[in-house]
Amino acid sequence: MTVLVVFASFLLAANMHVDAESSVPGASIVLQNAAEKGMTMPAIGIGTGGYGAPAETWNDGVAMKAVSTWIKLGGRRIDTAWDYYDQTGIGQAVYAAIDTGSIKRDDLFIVSKTHLLSGYNDTLSQLEDSLKQLQVEYVDLFLVHSKTIMPNSTDPKCQPGDPNLESACVKSTWKAMKEIFQRGRKGGARAIGVSNFEVEQLEYLLDDSILPSLNQVEYQPYWHEEDLVEFCRNRNITFNGYSPLGTPDFGPRARNWNCSLLELPLVKSIATAHNKSSAQVLLRWNWQQGIPVNPRSEQEEHMKENLAAILDETFHLTDSEMHALSNISPKPKCPKVCVFGPNCNPRDHHNYH
């Protein structure tokens, strides 16, 4: 699908507004459906998924330092998961920031996720684990991490044998998620949603009285599913893009992943024209479509750049630049990064051309 983005139209589509109370003035997204009334989410967060990185390069200690730096710089959204195995370090960073009085819990927007599609009881227990590790009474947003069923789920509806296995497991898992939402700030979540769900999995929930507030899916110039974005927006489900930079650090560890967006001549030329970095161009490409992002970074200077890419009101890509980034050709012969992780179904690969 050809994409030509006009920034002003997406301001309305994405329910964007300026959060005057944030320590870093900037845009945020209004969450709907399964979310507290009037709840907003900062447009940019810090991602903390290691994507298979060796333990010596991404662990609790590294995550704690990165999140501490992010908070110091004014970043307020933190994106993690039960199976990122770094929530203890993140919890230490959050506790220290609150304990020193530099921020209040309400200043932060903490996102966590389940381990795969886990079923009823396992979803509830994973939330409890996450709250303990993060040292908080609630998370702001809790997501079903994947459409892939957890192999050792204790839920009978998530075990082989049912011809409607995926549908049954999604619905049973969502039942637990709704209980978590009902708990709210008392041991639950202010909002609930999903991640890595395609239209097929979202359709399982359309007859439910409570729809997800958000769907977090990989979104970058090599991989962008406009049909899925439109499906979500038509149902007031916020579309949140992860891996907005194409996770270039994952490349050396992934077979055939030799397609760094940061080094693409088109991206570099646009960056030069605006006196910005390649990363800032890619983040802005997302945001001018009204898509909030959560790039991972360990470096303070990169975090500053990431924040500026979203918050700098003078930085706008032209329509022609947006069009070029949305229609890169030829695309590389490599799959989206999510195919390599445990939170994805390998059948996603057939969509990549």
Tell me the β-bridge partners of 327.
none
Phi-psi category of residue 209: left, alpha or beta, with phi > 0 → left and psi -120 to 50 → alpha: alpha
The CA-atom distances, in angstroms, between 193 and each of 113, 144, 149, 350 are: 9, 6, 16, 25
In the three-class reduction of DSSP (H, G, I as helix; E, B as strand; rest coil), residue 217 is classed as strand
The span from the CA of 108 to the CA of 62, in Å, is: 20
Is 84 labeled as catalytic in the residue annotation? yes
| Helix H or strand E segment including 269 | helix 265-274
In the three-class reduction of DSSP (H, G, I as helix; E, B as strand; rest coil), residue 189 is classed as strand
β-bridge pairing 238-242 and 45-47: unpaired
C-beta atoms surrounding 104 within 10 Å: 9
C-beta atoms surrounding 131 within 10 Å: 21
The CA-atom distances, in angstroms, between 8 and each of 13, 218, 287, 298, 319 are: 9, 24, 11, 32, 11
**34 contact partners, CB below 8 Å, separation of at least 6:** 177, 178, 181, 191, 192, 193, 210, 211, 212, 213
User: Which tokens belong to 71?
Assistant: 């908070």
Q: Is the peptide bond before 330 cis (omega within 30 degrees of 0)?
A: yes
User: Which tokens belong to 203?
Assistant: 């359709």
Which of 84, 120, 204, 242 is an active site residue? 84
Residue 189 phi/psi, 5-degree rounding, is -140, 145
> Which residues form the catalytic set?
84
